[in-house]
Amino acid sequence: MFRFRMYRTSFFGAKRVLSYSSIAKNKNGAFITDSISILEQQTNSLLKDNKNLEQVELSLDVLKACKILQDKILSFDKFDSNGKLQELQKINLKILNNSKIDKKFLSQYWLLRPYFDDLKNSIEIFYLQNKKAIIPKELVMIPFRNFLKNGDIDNAIKLLDLSVASDRYLKFQRNKTTKYLIQYALSCFGFIGLIEILTRIFFTDVQNMAKIYAMLLAYIGNTSFLATIAFSGKNSQTDHLRFANGTFQRYWSEHADELNMISKIVDVDLKINDKQNSGFISKEISDELGKRNIIYKEPEQEIMLRQYWLSGGDGFEWVEPDQDPAELLWDEHLKNLKAKNLRQSSQEDMLEITDQIISN
């Protein structure tokens, strides 16, 4: 049996426990209504003293109670005919608006598995309270995995747009890339400056450094180009997806987390909607990928079939779709054994006939 506990600080500094029980088992509509009214009264009493909401546990206790009541309402009233979910959402929003929302608070709150509307409110309030902060991908994965586990692809995509695909997150990634480029350029110039100083100290006879600088710049340019190709390619594709042709490598680095997360959505979509294991995604997911300059890689069988028709079948060996190639090899092995046994038996028969003729 679940017991919800909320602490209210009195004028004398003592803590009084306000509790109610049986929420987890009772599905009576009247009881739910009474519980919502009690919860609303206790929330209003907490809001009178903002110091109470500075304690994270108090806010989380109220949010946990809201989540449990929401679950119980949906268990017997899927369409929320009496609007009880909206009342709970208002209580939830009051608590979030009057709480200090940081990354630690979000991690604890999201472990309660809130519904999407409440999740969206927590993200928007976090952005309002923290003007320059972003929600890291590792934190977003908490509700993201929960949505995918339940097969809720629509809300997973909405969460993607609110987090790693939001303008704030992309700006952060853009600034981080620019910062790395500036640091790299400064380190290169610092290295050249160090060579200049050492040359002036130890090699005073050297008058013209132009050729040496040209060699260094050529070396740095080539290594930078090769490093860009090598490392940026890791962020350009996953098992099923890749960025569209014509997108720049900087775009890859900014949207790498978006590509990684939407690839997980594609995996779930294939398991849910691809009943025949054809390797094709649903139209809705295909449209989403098109909006994000992401392309779904064609299934290997589709590519091979196109090559088969273009080449006229040259170089291809027809295999029954439902037959394992290993079984073909095994059948061929058995045929060879059978032919070998037939040859041996025919030779033995000839020897027996010869013996009979000689004996007669």
pLDDT by residue for the chain (360 residues), tens only, comes to: 334 444 443 322 323 333 433 444 444 555 566 678 888 888 888 777 665 566 778 889 889 999 998 888 888 777 776 788 889 999 999 999 988 999 999 999 999 999 999 999 999 999 999 998 999 999 999 999 999 999 999 999 999 999 999 999 999 999 998 998 899 889 888 888 888 888 888 877 777 777 778 888 888 888 887 777 766 666 677 878 989 888 888 888 899 999 999 999 999 998 888 766 667 788 899 999 999 999 988 766 666 666 667 777 677 666 655 656 677 676 676 666 655 555 555 555 555 655 565 555
Are 352 and 252 within one domain?
Answer: no
Domain of residue 47: give its range: 3-99
Are 184 and 286 within one domain?
Answer: yes
340 in a structural domain: yes
158 in a structural domain: no
Cα 312–Cα 318–Cα 321 angle in degrees, nearest 5: 125
Task: Name the pTM for this structure.
Answer: 0.71
Are 335 and 281 within one domain?
Answer: no
219 in a structural domain: yes
d(C-alpha 263, C-alpha 286), whole Å: 12
164 in a structural domain: no
Are 282 and 176 within one domain?
Answer: yes
256 in a structural domain: yes
Unique residue bearing structure tokens 């600034």: 175
Q: How many domains are contained in the chain? A: 3
